[in-house]
Structures are given as structure tokens and as C-alpha cells.
Amino acid sequence: MSTDKQLYTISVYTENNIGLLNRISAIFQRRHINIESLNTSPSEIEGVSKFTIVVNMDEVNIKKIIGQIEKQVEVIKAYYHNLDEIIYQIAGLFKIKSELLFEERQIQNIIKESNARIVTVNKEFFVLEKSGKKEEIIALYNQLSPYGIMQYTRSGLIAVSKDEMKISTLLKTYNN
């Protein structure tokens, strides 16, 4: 098992309960592990939530973390994957002065080439949205930065695994 650190996503299927986020994040905090990103959302199963957590760790320790997460009463199942084993997306939002859109011709080219989407435009500003890998969003940021960005934010990583995560089957066996 690899002892080299790399980015892993941890997918945690849980009951939707107040306080569970605290319980899960405490597992990382206690071991001095920095969470790179964290996203919570409903999952494909009704009433089941999904946490997607990104951490930079080695495999030996991530297995231990999975054990600690699954030990929590309200956790149904946790999986870990490296980035090659998942399809993932990150979204970035850029708020930029509207006048630049007309004054700086280059910006229109940047938008076209980066496949970014204009979410809204008004007199004062427009908002660009770009989804993709972290590097793509950073590249766009670097391109836009010289013109002045009013606001910038990046979402947590969301992912689906290439392999099956057999939550429905698992829940069926629990229910029987």
C-alpha cells in the first residue's frame, strides 16, 4: 500500500442529521489533517446525504480515516478514491466590471477559449462561471487577473466514481 501522499476524495453516505458534519470534521481535526475541500449534498438515494471530502494523504492513513468515519453511528458507508478513479468537477465564479467586457477585447476571447459561461450581466458587473479541473479554473483566474476581478470563489470538488458504490444494495441488506 502506498505511503506517498496524494489527493483522495472520500465519499461518505450518511443519514441527514444535525451535528454529523461536526462529528466527521472532528475526525480530521483530531489527527491534524487539513481538509482541502468539503461538499455536502443529497445523494442518489432519497433521505441519504453525501459528503465529498478532499484530502492530501497516504493510503495507509486514509484507510484508518475511513474506519473512523464508518464507525460513526449515522454513517452508512464511506469510500475513498484517487483522482484517476473518479469523474469530478469544480466550479469557479468570477465577478468582473461590465465595462471591461467592451473596453478589453481580449476578455471576450478569454471567455470563448476557456468555455466559461456568462451567468448574468448588468450595467455594473458580469459573472462568469467555469466548471472543470482545479488547474483550468486557476488558469482562467490567472488570465483574468490582470484586468481586475471584483470577486472570485471556487467550489468544493464534487465527484462520481467510475466504479459502482453499492449503497442501494447495502441499504437493502440493512433493512432486511
Partner 1 sequence: METQTINKQQQTTKTTERISGSEAIVRCLIEEKIKVIYGYPGGAIMPLYDELYKYQDKIHHVLTRHEQGATHAAQGFARISGEVGVAIATSGPGATNLITGIADAQIDSTPMVCITGQVFSHLLGSDAFQETDIVGISTPVTKWNCQVTRAEDIPAVLAKAFYIAKSGRPGPVLIDITKDAQLDTFDFSYEKCTKIRSYNPVPKTEDSSLEAAAKLINEAKRPFIIWGQGVILSEAEEQFKAFIEKAGIPAAWTILGASAIPTSHPLNVGMLGMHGNYAPNVLTNECDVLIAIGMRFDDRVTGDLSKYAKQAKVIHFEIDPAEIDKNVKSDVAVLGDAKASLEGILPLINQNSHKEWHQKFKDLYKIEYEKVIKNDIHPTKEGLTMGEVVKEINIQTKGEAAIVTDVGQHQMIACRYADFNKSKSNITSGGLGTMGFGLPAAIGAKMAAPEREVISISGDGGYQMTIQELGTIFQQKAAVKVVVLNNEFLGMVRQWQQLFFDKRYASTEMTNPDFVAIAKGYYLNARKVVKREDLKEAVAEMIASKEAYFLEVCVEKEDNVFPMVPSGASVSDIRLE
3-state class (DSSP) for residue 5? coil
Site residues (CB under 8 A) for partner 1, limited to 88-147: none
Among 31, 41, 67, 166, binds partner 1 (CB under 8 A): 67
C-alpha–C-alpha distance, residues 117 and 135, integer Å: 17
171 binds partner 1 per the rule CB under 8 A:
yes
71 binds partner 1 per the rule CB under 8 A:
yes
11 binds partner 1 per the rule CB under 8 A:
no
> DSSP of 38-91, one letter per residue?
EEEEE-SSTTEEEEEEEEEE-HHHHHHHHHHHHHSTTEEEEEEEEGGGEEEEEE
In whole angstroms, the minimum distance from the beta carbon of 82 to partner 1 comes to 20
In the bound state with partner 1, the residue whose beta carbon lies nearer, of 22 and 142, is 22
Among 5, 31, 64, 117, binds partner 1 (CB under 8 A): 64
The site string for partner 1 over 26-55 (x = CB under 8 A, - otherwise) reads x---x-------------------------
C-alpha–C-alpha distance, residues 38 and 153, integer Å: 14
Element (H, E) at 132: strand 125-132
